[in-house]
């Protein structure tokens, strides 16, 4: 049987949490024994989000097969068992790119190329092309109903409803029901307008998720149902929560999964949500607490480190521990506006690009190393740890990554001009290569050394982790650094790419070239985050004594 489709749209305002809502729907369906795949359609014109600034757009999430995607895909993987791929996220830019190159090739045989049907057909093709063999595909449409950019996407899903049939497709619309203080009332008008706008383009939502501060009383649900032409029990309260992993539980209480399975005519068992309850309970009532300093560049916009924040929470869950994050702008450290993060239990320098705040990060890494505070360096955080050790333990003052100093006499982090990518293709590049498409992206294997923190954490020798970077550890300096105590404990199976380094004689000082945060889940906390939080906990307890 062909899979069924759920289309999730959003109205009134952006940032209502459509990604989380979609992910939670996926989680609920999985809790009933169904299999799901998830995708996100982005109406902007960039071909991929890889070159978009995290300041504007939040984190770039990297898939197993190396696609640079919207951060909502991270929610999908954290909430469900779906492993998303390149096919699961596409933009208007990609759609037009395909249609225009088809036109150049003469595929349309001289016909006039138009939004309907050519653009909409390409959108439909891409939606239907997503992995076969799951029960339900959940498709989130980015943007807000009423945006000019979203129109071709909405038209495409309107058509798909006819192509697929009513029992095989479902429209869910997320809106806002604001509470107006002066009137002491919740207002349904924005929702009515948003649904009106959808209906004008031929989409009648089946289910409404109403984002609210409080519970929606039955009277209001009835009113919304009447004006929006949906059933009263298809009006679901999506109340604000402080723990995101509570959303599937709330939706279930509102009867959402029951409604979806009935409407799609799917027979499914009663849901088992006990593991979600356990997660929420552990986050709410942990036995311990640690404080972690995250020293980065994008600290003002929390979405820039979405997966990282979640992975830290997961590391906490594994240790029954609340993780309080102290964000520190490395530029402020560099300028002397703030001091070293005294009193924290662990220090983490995450991934990043560009010159700003680099010296601030290096001085914090030095602080962690000298004070014996657990240190976790991710990607750029690993590269700078190598620079720090090279400068201050190997006494090569000029050591740097060539990303920041092209003329350094000691390029300990450098650009490999030739390397083999995931598909076994030889890639060539130099510092003049394009910014897009020249990074090491996606999952690569790594072999661990037995006597290491990394091996202790993973408990196995061969691991696969996701990458997104241009520069690499320069093997020419390996011996010199090992002599200073910085050991390579993870390396590509062919021995060319250094993936993990650890400092001996320090309680826990580990840098990895990959991004472990992309693979952490609440039920399956990432081994390195679990071990880092454990080490921080031990450090913190030692401190209190």
Task: Give me the active site residues, please.
Answer: 379, 515, 517
Closer residue to ligand GLN in complex, CB, 261/304: 304
- ∠161-92-202 over CA atoms, to 5°? 30
SS3 content of the chain, % helix, strand, coil (to 5): 40, 25, 35
Note whether 447 binds ligand GLN by CB under 6 A.
no
Minimum distance, C-beta of residue 402 to ligand GLN, in the bound complex (Å): 10
* Segment lying near ligand GLN (by CB under 6 A), choices 34-42, 146-154, 185-193, 463-471: 463-471
Contact 71, 64 (CB under 8 A): no
Among 400, 469, 526, 530, binds ligand GLN (CB under 6 A): 469
- The three-class DSSP label of residue 138 is strand
Tell me 421's DSSP state.
Answer: -
Site string (366-385) toward ligand GLN, x via CB under 6 A: -------------xx-----
* Segment lying near ligand GLN (by CB under 6 A), choices 10-18, 228-236, 388-396, 469-477: 469-477
Minimum distance, C-beta of residue 438 to ligand GLN, in the bound complex (Å): 10
Among 19, 352, 411, 516, binds ligand GLN (CB under 6 A): 352
Closer residue to ligand GLN in complex, CB, 361/506: 361
- Residues contacting ligand GLN: total by CB under 6 A: 10
DSSP string, 225-258: HHHHTS-GGGEEEEE--SSGGGHHHHHHHTTHHH
Note whether 471 binds ligand GLN by CB under 6 A.
yes
> β-strand 509-512 against 472-473: which pairing, if any?
unpaired
Among 96, 108, 227, 353, binds ligand GLN (CB under 6 A): 353
Minimum distance, C-beta of residue 526 to ligand GLN, in the bound complex (Å): 16
Site string (380-409) toward ligand GLN, x via CB under 6 A: x----------------------x------
User: Environment class of residue 371 by beta-carbon count within 10 Å: exposed (0-12), middle (13-18) or buried (19+)?
Assistant: middle
HSE of 405, CA atoms in CB hemisphere, 13 A:
16
* Segment lying near ligand GLN (by CB under 6 A), choices 94-102, 212-220, 346-354, 456-464: 346-354
User: Environment class of residue 46 by beta-carbon count within 10 Å: exposed (0-12), middle (13-18) or buried (19+)?
Assistant: middle
Minimum distance, C-beta of residue 468 to ligand GLN, in the bound complex (Å): 5
User: Environment class of residue 429 by beta-carbon count within 10 Å: exposed (0-12), middle (13-18) or buried (19+)?
Assistant: middle
Minimum distance, C-beta of residue 398 to ligand GLN, in the bound complex (Å): 19
Among 468, 506, 519, 526, binds ligand GLN (CB under 6 A): 468
Among 351, 357, 360, 490, binds ligand GLN (CB under 6 A): 351
φ and ψ at residue 369, rounded to 5 degrees = -65, -45
**Rounded-to-integer distance, Cα 63 and Cα 47, Å:** 16
Structure tokens at 289: 């607490």
Note whether 61 binds ligand GLN by CB under 6 A.
no
Minimum distance, C-beta of residue 101 to ligand GLN, in the bound complex (Å): 29
**Rounded-to-integer distance, Cα 273 and Cα 176, Å:** 27
Interface positions with ligand GLN (CB under 6 A)? 351-353, 379-380, 403, 468-471
């Amino acid at each position: 049987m062909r899979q069924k489709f759920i289309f999730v749209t959003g109205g009134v305002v952006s940032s209502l949490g459509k990604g989380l809502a979609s992910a939670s729907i996926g989680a609920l369906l999985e809790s009933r024994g169904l299999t799901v795949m998830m995708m996100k359609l982005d109406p902007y014109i960039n071909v991929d989000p890889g070159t978009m600034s995290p300041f504007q757009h939040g984190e770039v999430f990297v898939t197993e097969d190396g696609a640079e995607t919207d951060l909502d895909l991270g929610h999908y993987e954290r909430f469900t068992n779906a492993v998303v791929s390149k096919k699961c996220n596409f933009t208007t830019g990609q759609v037009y790119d395909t249609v225009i190159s088809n036109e150049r090739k003469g595929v349309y045989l001289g016909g006039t190329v138009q939004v309907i049907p050519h653009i909409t057909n390409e959108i439909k093709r891409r939606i239907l092309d997503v992995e076969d063999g799951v029960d339900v595909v959940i498709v989130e449409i980015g943007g807000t109903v009423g945006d000019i950019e979203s129109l071709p996407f909405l038209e495409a899903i309107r058509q798909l409803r006819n192509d697929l049939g009513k029992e095989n497709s479902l429209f869910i619309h997320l809106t806002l029901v604001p509470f107006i203080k002066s009137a002491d009332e919740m207002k349904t008008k924005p929702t009515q307008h948003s649904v009106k706008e959808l209906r004008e383009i031929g989409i009648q939502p089946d289910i409404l998720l109403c984002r609210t501060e409080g519970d929606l009383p039955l009277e209001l649900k009835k009113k919304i149902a009447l004006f929006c032409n949906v059933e009263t029990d298809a009006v679901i309260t999506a109340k604000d929560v402080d723990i995101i992993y509570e959303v599937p539980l709330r939706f279930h209480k509102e009867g959402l999964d029951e409604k979806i399975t009935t409407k799609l005519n799917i027979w499914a068992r009663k849901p088992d949500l006990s593991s979600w309850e356990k997660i929420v309970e552990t986050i709410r009532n942990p036995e311990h607490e640690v404080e972690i300093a995250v020293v980065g560049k994008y600290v003002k916009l929390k979405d820039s480190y979405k997966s990282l924040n979640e992975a830290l929470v997961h590391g906490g869950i594994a240790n029954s521990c609340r993780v309080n994050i102290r964000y520190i702008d490395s530029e402020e450290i560099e300028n002397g506006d703030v001091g070293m993060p005294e009193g924290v239990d662990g220090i983490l320098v995450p991934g990043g690009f560009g010159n700003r705040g680099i010296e601030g990060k290096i001085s914090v890494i030095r602080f962690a190393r000298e004070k014996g505070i657990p240190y976790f360096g991710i990607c750029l955080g690993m590269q700078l740890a190598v620079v720090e050790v090279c400068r201050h333990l190997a006494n090569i003052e000029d050591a740097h990554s060539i990303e920041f100093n092209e003329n350094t006499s000691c390029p300990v982090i450098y650009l490999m001009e030739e390397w083999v990518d995931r598909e076994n293709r030889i890639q060539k590049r130099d510092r003049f290569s394009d910014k897009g498409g020249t990074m090491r992206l996606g999952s690569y294997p790594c072999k661990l050394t037995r006597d290491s923190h990394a091996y202790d954490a993973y408990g196995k020798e061969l691991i696969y982790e996701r990458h997104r970077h241009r520069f690499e550890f320069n093997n020419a300096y390996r011996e010199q650094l090992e002599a200073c105590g910085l050991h390579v404990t993870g390396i590509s199976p062919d021995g060319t790419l250094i993936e993990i380094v650890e400092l001996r004689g320090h309680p826990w000082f580990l840098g990895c070239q990959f991004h472990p945060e992309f693979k952490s889940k609440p039920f399956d906390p990432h081994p390195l985050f679990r071990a880092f939080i454990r080490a921080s906990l031990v450090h913190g307890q030692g401190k209190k004594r």
